[in-house]
Structure 1
Amino acid sequence: MNVDPPHPPLPGIGRRALLAGGLGAAGLALAGCGGTTAAATGAPVPIRQWNLFTGGDGARMVEMHDRFADEHPEYDLRPTTYLWGNPYYTKFAMGAAGGRSFDIGTLHLSRVKGMGAGTLIDPVPRDVLAEFGITEETVRPALWEKATVDGELYAIPLDTHLVVTYYNREVCEQAGVLESDGTLVRTSGVEDLFDVLAAVKEVTGHFGIVMDTTGAWRQFWSLYRQLGGEMALEDELGLDDDKALQSLDFLRRVSEEGLAPKASDAPGTPARFQNGIAGLMLAGNWELPTMQDAGMDFGMRPFPGVFGDELGQGDSHVFVLPHRREPDEEAVRASVAYAAWMLKNSIIWAGGGHTPAYLPVAESEDYAALEPQAEYRAAADDVQLDPDAWFSGSAAALMSEANSVMAGVHNGSSTPEETLAAFKRAVQKLIDTPPPV
């Protein structure tokens, strides 16, 4: 989560994956390697890869890395895994500033501009990428467009991950809110959704739906975008107050009326859903393996259409090339070959809930056969990426500030008006702060 929220560390993550504790020896020590190229000696070309995947995502990444290594003896893949969020982004910035620390890294697409596209991050050579079968026509258009800055491609999108609706089939069947094919009814508007939640609450005896109230930005941005709200983060904050208040008032009402808990953190939210305390859950699609491991009979569909289309906040994991002090075409070519292979084999990655960005996989029969992934596959076409700013995106300051103040509308400690005022003050302070890159 990625994406998404941090996952618990995975014990024994794999023979090719190095966890954060191995940074000094495995990562930065490689920065001093130089001399004769691998091609000249006939040795495998090293690919030093940095990522932020632990937990279930980490397990799938290791599976893909092992397959890549088995199929490509001409490369020596050397992955290093760091903790999700700011620990990783700090390491990334330091490593990229050094100019020789790693060959290819993983970022969230929403962070590419803020992490230094054109300074700490080098453009991806499109001609080389095309040689390996990845072009603008094979990647989701919105992601390719977001990955392009000033006409240069700075990221290779791997997936889309976003907030969706999980539903407990047994509970929802008892509540009478399933279609004849066993899928959750589609709602339109606040009151329609509240009627469904009330029916589900009658069955659970507790709540209709649960969501991470400590991560309210994801819900807020989904609702605000459904209303057509825009947010400008340049010299001054540009925000539609009426639309923002409507979105915040929905979060207030759903908790105040007892349809959702007033407080539920990231670990507690899926636990409540698993335990049947709520029949529905708003959460990232990366929680899918957790529910499968629990043996639940559940389904998934896009974020509900509260104020319009079923739009949900989300992001994309991407591969980027760190800036190099000295050009190294061999290393760049090897890194691009690795990224292209990962996209073409992303059906494995899709098993964890993420929707492939590579269209031949996303539109394949194999992906259509995945359940419940296929239920929300269309949502990836309309993923609502965070607004552009150096402080915006996954695990960035904008999300952190929003989460901090917006929890108050759920627990009743602040009104929507008070919450909006606090949010605007916090964002303006970020706008007034000079970017670090």
Structure 2
Amino acid sequence: MSNRPPRTSIAELPGIPGMSRRRVLGAAALGVAGTVLSGCSTPLAAGLLGTELDPGTVVYWNLFGGGDGVRMQDMQAGYREQNAAALQATTLAWGNPYYSKLTLATVGNQPPDVAVAHLTRAKPLWAGGILDPITEEDLAGVGLSSADFAEQAWTTQVTDGQNIAIPLDTHPFTLFYNKEVCEQAGLLDADGILIDLDGRDAFEAALAEISAVTGGTAITVANVAETSTPWRFFWTLYNQLESATPFLSEDGAVLSVDEPSFLEVMDLVTSWVDEGWLNSNLDYAGSQTEMFIGNAGFYLQGEWEIATAQSIEGLDFGMAEIPRIFDKPAVQADSHTFILPRKDRSPEQRQLAMEFIKAMLDQSLIWAEGGHVPSYLPTFESSEFQSLEPQQHYAGAADHAVYDDPAWYGGSGSTFEATVGAQLGLVQQGALSPERAFAAIRNQLEIYTSTPSPL
């Protein structure tokens, strides 16, 4: 099946200046690479065909399900109530299927006006010619500037000297804790908040105290039938080392991870399993349950699981930034962002898209109630957000966010995370030594590092 609409010249797509046949094919390959190379399938024609809409309609795509999906629907309803412009919002399947459809819809000159992308996935979309830059004039036209956003998320989105995305949030890896267990372990202050546990000695002493209370596990990290969590765990600890280097360089063409640092982190993980502090085998749900029922004191996961913890009747829990175990504070994170897929826009259509984004930012307190740290500073600095519990206790992690390295096969929910995370999980299970895991990662990534970017 052709990846371009019928009766369209392969030399130049209408409405997408500079979109040559090579970039069309390359962008299409970019969108499906993670799927094809991992042996999955995606309907390639999705999004290529569309119907004519009123020019005053904002077409918006996102990938939010669960609690995030409910909150996004509330924000969309707020937009509809406050604006005369019509909104056509579509939610698509999370991960590679979403990015494949977005890529191919743009190549087919039928993209949405505004879309959501993880910041780590926006970068390869930009490299593939799929995004329009967001200019200072675009921002100023709706009363925004770069000073309105959290520094780490904003500076990370800047690529090739241009703004490629507008961050809605930062969603960091966080530490959940069972207050009943931690109180018995002597780890809470007078206000019932987790004490400072920075430094390996202090953190391991805390794990030992919790283990004495539970009679076994102190901390849980999902690692069975789960690859993203082991990656987030590793990337957090690895980047706390002064010796850490990028895992990937040259847009994914070079495996540049520092092997001694890799082994140091995984030796630490192995030692915690050997001590009985860290689980060896737990899936995503099981890692939560152990902390929820008091069989563990700590649980590491993305802050979005706040909604799950809040739904457990009788659970008294808190959340905190992951302590600095090694040399410096760092935590794996990503950001949900708004992007402008590349298309021929009138000034009025561009303004309408920016007004929609601004309306979403203005409602980002709703988004923050689901755990995400707002990137829009008027929301972040508001008394309403600063008083949210337990969000206020981990919101500072956004300042130490470390994003996945840019790669055409990388980013949140990508083939890269699945490949590397699987090996890291096997180390935690005791099925592989750190050395063998490193060798397996190097070998399995060779197909991607040695394959030229399709751009």
Structure 1 length normalisation: TM-score? 0.88
Equivalent residue, structure 2, for 1:419 = 437
Please tell me whether the aligned partners of residues 302 and 311 of structure 1 are also in contact (alpha carbons under 8 angstroms): no
User: Which residue of 249, 253, 260 maps to 1:233?
Assistant: 249
1:236, 1:428 within 8 Å by CA — same for their partners in 2? no
Give, as a single letter, the amino acid of the residue that structure 2 aligns with 1:230.
T
1:322 is displaced (CA, Å) by 0.9
Match of 1:283 among 291, 297, 301: 301
Instruction: State the partner residue of 2:319.
Output: 300
Is the aligned partner of 1:33 residue 2:24? no
Q: Any conservation in 1 of the 2:237–2:325 contact (CA below 8 Å)?
A: yes
Aligned equivalents of 1:328 and 1:270: distance in 2? 49
The 8 Å contact of residues 168 and 336 in structure 2, kept in 1 or not, is answered as yes
Number of the residue aligned with 2:92: 82
Aligned to 1:405: 423
The one-letter code of the counterpart of 1:305 is R
List aligned pairs for 1:24-423, cutoff 5 A. 31-33=50-52, 38=55, 45-72=56-83, 74-117=84-127, 119-213=129-223, 214=226, 215-228=229-242, 229-231=244-246, 232-234=248-250, 235-295=253-313, 296-324=315-343, 326-423=344-441
Whether the 8 Å contact between 1:46 and 1:77 is mirrored in structure 2 is yes
Cα deviation, residue 117, structure 1: 4.2
Question: Which stretch of structure 1 is more off in the superposition, 291-300 or 218-227?
Answer: 291-300
- In the alignment of these two chains, the number of paired residues is 404
Inter-partner Cα distance in structure 2 for 1:80 and 1:344: 21
Q: What's the RMSD between the two structures over aligned residues? A: 2.0
Structure 1 runs not aligned, ≥5 long: 1-19, 39-44
Distance 1:191 1:422 in 2: 31
Q: Contact 1:49–1:79 at 8 Å: present in 2 too?
A: yes
Q: Confirm or deny: 8 A CA contact 2:126 2:164 kept in the other structure.
A: no
User: Displacement, 1:429?
Assistant: 2.9
Distance in 1 of aligned mates of 2:128 and 2:259: 34
Q: Give SS of 1:294's match.
A: coil
Distance 1:427 1:163 in 2: 24
SS at match of 1:116: helix
Give the whole-Å Cα distance in 2 for the aligned partners of 1:302 and 1:87: 32
Contact 1:53–1:84 (8 Å) recurs in 2? yes
**What is the match of residue 8 of structure 1?**
none
TM-score (norm 2): 0.85
Percent identity between matched residues is 35
Q: Which runs of 4+ in 1 moved over 6 A?
A: none
Q: Which amino acid aligns with 1:66?
A: A
C-alpha contact (below 8 Å) 1:256/1:410 kept by paired residues: no
